[in-house]
């Protein structure tokens, strides 16, 4: 089923849009095909439109109801840089114990979205809700509940792993024994407890990646934003990071995972949000995403990459 244009702008459509808004359905999920037939592309959106479907489709679980509480709620975020609209009304959610994969081609708006969630960039409009409350300014205490694992190895190579974590912990006002305990726990989780006193510059790429993850976890955040956390690491370290993420998920953390690696999203993500040209073009479970594959290839074994390419196209972006 090929996508057509967005919902037309007639009187009926305006009425329909109002209805969708009143039922908390993302209006952008409604599309019009070439014959003028309106359809909802996302299975999740169908479920939200028609609650009865939830009972008929046992595998289609609405995480809004089952994975409470909802930790992160992104609502209609928008950000422009001059004439370029980098992020355009992006909305999605991440519940506790859920890992949401945020996918998109280069320049799609993923990093800008993550930057707005962490407060690095102020959105032009929209809101970031942390457990229902909007995230405020630089010193908002709710930032304690968010941890960031940036794509860059954001570490001081000159310092030891312990000194790095000590500094990052202090930024969240951790001191004394609480800080020491947090450092030891984080180092143990990522398997670096015996290298804590060594300078980071002596670490391998994989060890640095794991320490990068530990730095984001130090203050025990409820929400963890991971921006391509496995770039440039060997399979062993990647699997170790995956194990860490599985454990964090099991502890009830809400994880937003940005990646270009489809197999990582397939393995880890409970739900996948695809962004392209600054907009959310799909938001569904893996099985739901597979149903969006091009006609003739859809099925249980269709790859996420095929779905991704069908949603975002094959033209190069950079």
Tell me if 259 contacts other proteins by CB under 8 A.
no
With binding defined as CB under 8 A, does residue 166 bind other proteins?
yes
Largest CA distance in the chain: 67
| Count, residues near other proteins per rule CB under 8 A | 39
159 is an interface residue for other proteins by CB under 8 A: yes
Stretch that binds other proteins, among 36-44, 120-128, 232-240, 263-271 (CB under 8 A): 120-128
Write the binding mask 43 to 82 for other proteins: x where contact by CB under 8 A, - elsewhere.
Answer: --------------------------------------x-
Of 307, 266, 270, the residue nearest 299 (C-alpha): 307
What is the Cα–Cα distance from 74 to 71, expressed in whole angstroms? 10
Q: Tell me which residue of 20, 105, 114, 120 sits closest to 72, measured CA to CA.
A: 114
- To other proteins, the closest distance from the beta carbon of 173 in angstroms equals 5
Q: Which stretch binds other proteins (CB under 8 A): 14-22, 27-35, 119-127, 272-280?
A: 119-127
Residue in 21, 120, 133, 297 binding other proteins, rule: CB under 8 A: 120
d(CA 202, CA 217): 22
Return d(Cα 287, Cα 266) in angstroms, integer: 10
Phi-psi category of 89—alpha, beta or left, where left has phi over 0 and alpha has psi -120 to 50? left
Q: Per rule CB under 8 A, is residue 170 in the interface with other proteins?
A: yes
Stretch that binds other proteins, among 25-33, 95-103, 116-124, 180-188 (CB under 8 A): 116-124
Nearer to other proteins, 32 or 154 (CB): 154
Is residue 185 a contact point for other proteins (CB under 8 A)? no
Segment contacting other proteins (CB under 8 A): 54-62, 65-73, 151-159, 303-311?
A: 151-159
Q: Which is nearer to other proteins, 155 or 245 (CB)?
A: 155
Q: Whose Cβ is closer to other proteins: residue 169's or residue 288's?
A: 169
Cα–Cα distance list, 190 to 44, 204, 292 (Å): 34, 14, 36
Q: Which residues would be at the binding site for other proteins (CB under 8 A)?
A: 81, 86, 111-112, 115, 118-122, 138-141, 143-144, 146, 148, 150-156, 158-159, 163, 166-168, 170-173, 175, 199, 215-216
């Amino acid at each position: 089923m090929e996508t057509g244009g967005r919902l037309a702008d007639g009187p009926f459509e305006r009425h329909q849009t109002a209805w969708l808004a009143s039922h908390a359905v993302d209006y952008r999920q409604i599309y019009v095909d070439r014959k003028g037939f309106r359809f909802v592309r996302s299975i999740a959106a169908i479920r939200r439109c028609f609650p009865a479907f939830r009972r008929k489709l046992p595998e289609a679980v609405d995480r809004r109801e089952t994975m409470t509480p909802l930790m992160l709620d992104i609502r209609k975020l928008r950000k422009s840089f001059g004439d370029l609209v980098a992020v355009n009304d992006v909305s999605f959610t991440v519940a506790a114990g859920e890992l949401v994969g945020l996918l998109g081609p280069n320049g799609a708006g993923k990093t800008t979205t993550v930057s707005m969630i962490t407060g690095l960039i102020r959105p032009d409009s929209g809101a970031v809700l942390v457990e229902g409350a909007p995230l405020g300014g630089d010193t908002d205490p709710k930032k304690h509940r968010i941890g960031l694992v940036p794509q860059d190895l954001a570490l001081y190579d000159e310092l030891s792993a312990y000194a790095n974590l000590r500094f990052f912990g202090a930024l969240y006002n951790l001191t004394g024994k609480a800080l020491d305990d947090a450092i030891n726990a984080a180092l143990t989780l990522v398997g670096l407890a015996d290298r804590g006193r060594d300078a980071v510059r002596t670490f391998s790429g994989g060890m640095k990646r794991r320490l990068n993850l530990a730095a984001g976890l130090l203050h025990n955040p409820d929400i963890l934003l991971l921006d391509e956390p496995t770039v440039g690491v060997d399979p062993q370290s990647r699997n170790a990071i995956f194990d860490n993420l599985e454990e964090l998920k099991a502890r009830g953390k809400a994880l937003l995972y940005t990646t270009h690696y489809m197999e990582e999203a397939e393995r880890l993500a409970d739900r996948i949000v695809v962004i392209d040209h600054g907009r959310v073009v799909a938001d569904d479970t893996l099985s739901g995403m597979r149903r969006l594959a091009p006609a003739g290839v859809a099925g249980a074994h269709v790859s996420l990459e095929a779905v991704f390419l069908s949603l975002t196209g094959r033209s190069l972006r950079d």
